[in-house]
Each structure stands twice: as structure tokens, then as C-alpha cells.
Amino acid sequence: MSSRKPVIAGNWKMNTTPAEGRELAAAIAAGSKNHPGVEVIICPPFTGLAQAADAVSGSAVEVGAQNVSSEESGAFTGEVSVSMLAGLATHVIVGHSERRAMYCETDEAVAAKAVTAHATGLTPILCVGEDLETRKSGDAVAAVRGQLRASLDGYTGWGSLLVAYEPVWAIGTGAAASPQQAQEIVGELRQELSSLAGADAAEAIRILYGGSVNATNIGPFIDRPDVDGALVGGASLKPDEFLRIVEMTARLY
């Protein structure tokens, strides 16, 4: 646990119709208002951003997109630019492992998205994490530090950045990393941020853990000195479960 304000962010992935998202967002806004000490962000799919933003307006809940183009406009069928997110989102996930693995997003592409997002006032939620093979080979620390550095190439918006350590083998598997494993890598990421941005900036950046977080296992992650919250996938679709994660986090801070 640190003095940084904790963040609980929900990644809804490719789930929820606009109407379902409105309902989920409204439930989260209502349930999290008793926990002002926790920053709550929801990341609906593009098609539900407007409804979710409307449902949380007047509350402290923030809205993030799950992806963004690094291009401003033009012949990029199916893509969404930063200016198209204006008024709908304050944050954007970049470099989620599903995008890296299934849509071939390279560190270079992720860095371009982060830079473009920051330039237009969006806060990137930058995801990094090793796959199972890398973990087994004992190279996780070097791999994830390298991924972070490369995914922040050209980035200067240190006051507006969230990082999420999401080991690929823990996402959606029900097999979360241990809190010790999370702390080890997150501590290394903070050192890497320190070498990129300076010690003071690195100390202020919130670094989240993500990978099969739920209301039962969140506590020991939050207890670690460098882990400042969680990026939550599956459990973020269940309002009661997600709100229990928020509540547990509030209680521990």
C-alpha cells in the first residue's frame, strides 16, 4: 500500500450492449459514491461509451476507451481516433495483451497510441506483461521492463499515465499471479519508470496489477507497497463483485 490514490479500473472487453452498459455504469456510479478515496474507471466498448458516460455523469466515475488509433483521421476503416473520443472518455487502454497477441500490436504501435492519446488530453492505461513461456524461462523481469520502455518511446506525459502489469498467463484464467510476483514486477517497473522519467515522477505514477482479480483476492495485492490498484476484466461485468473490489480497496487505504 502506498500514499498514491488507488485506482480500480474495469475492462469490459467485447461485452455489453449500449443499454446493458448504461445499466452497469449506473450501478457502479451509485455503488462507488461511498468510496471517494478510490479512483474508479470503467472501460466499455466503443459502442457503449456515450451511454456509459451519460450514466456516470455527476459521479466521480471516469470512462476509458479500450483502444484508440494513433492516426488522426482518414482511410483507416474500423478505427477510432482520439478526437472521436472527446467528451466520451478521459482514459484509454493501450497495449492490452489481447491486442498485442490477436491484432499484432507492436511496442512501437502502442507507444504511438500512448503519445497521441496524451497529446489530446487522454490518460493512457498502458498494459504490459509477460507470457507463460517467458515466465517459465525466468526472463519475466527483463522482458516486462523492456516492453515498458519500448511502449513508452517518445512519451513525456509522466503526470498523466497509468501502467497495468498484466501477466498474460493470469488474464481470464482464474489463476492470478501471487501478490509477491506482482510486487516484484511492479517494483521493477517503477525502477524502469524512474530511469525514464526521474524518481519523483516514477514515485507518483500509479501501477496496477491485472489478471483474475476478484473481491476475494484483491486485498493482498493492494497491501503491496508498489501496487496501486487493479485492472479488472471478468469481474468488472458483475456490479456487485466489482463494487466489492472497490470497497475492499477503500477499506485497506
Positions marked active-site: 96, 166
3-state SS class at 164 = strand
Grid cell locating 180: 509477491
Binding flag, residue 130, ligand PEP (CB under 6 A): no
Q: Which of 146, 162, 245 is nearest to 206 (CA)?
A: 162
Least distance (Å) between residue 156 CB and ligand PEP: 26
Q: Kindly state whether residue 210 participates in binding ligand PEP, applying the rule CB under 6 A.
A: yes
| Contact status: 126 vs ligand PEP (CB under 6 A) | no
Under rule CB under 6 A, residue 10 binds ligand PEP: no
Strand 229-232 versus strand 7-11 pairing type: parallel
Question: Which of 63, 143, 171, 246 forms a contact with ligand PEP (CB under 6 A)?
Answer: 171
Q: Which element (helix H / strand E) includes 92?
A: strand 91-94
Distances, alpha carbon 129 to alpha carbons 80, 134, 136, 150, 252, in Å: 25, 10, 13, 13, 26
Candidates 32, 51, 212, 249; binder of ligand PEP (CB under 6 A) is 212
Q: Which residue is nearest to ligand PEP (CB)?
A: 233
Nearer Cβ to ligand PEP (39/197): 39
Among the listed residues 192, 194, 164, 163, the one whose alpha carbon sits nearest the alpha carbon of residue 177 = 164
Stretch that binds ligand PEP, among 65-73, 183-191, 205-213, 244-252 (CB under 6 A): 205-213
Which residues here bind ligand PEP, judged by CB under 6 A?
Answer: 11, 13, 166, 171-172, 210-213, 231-235
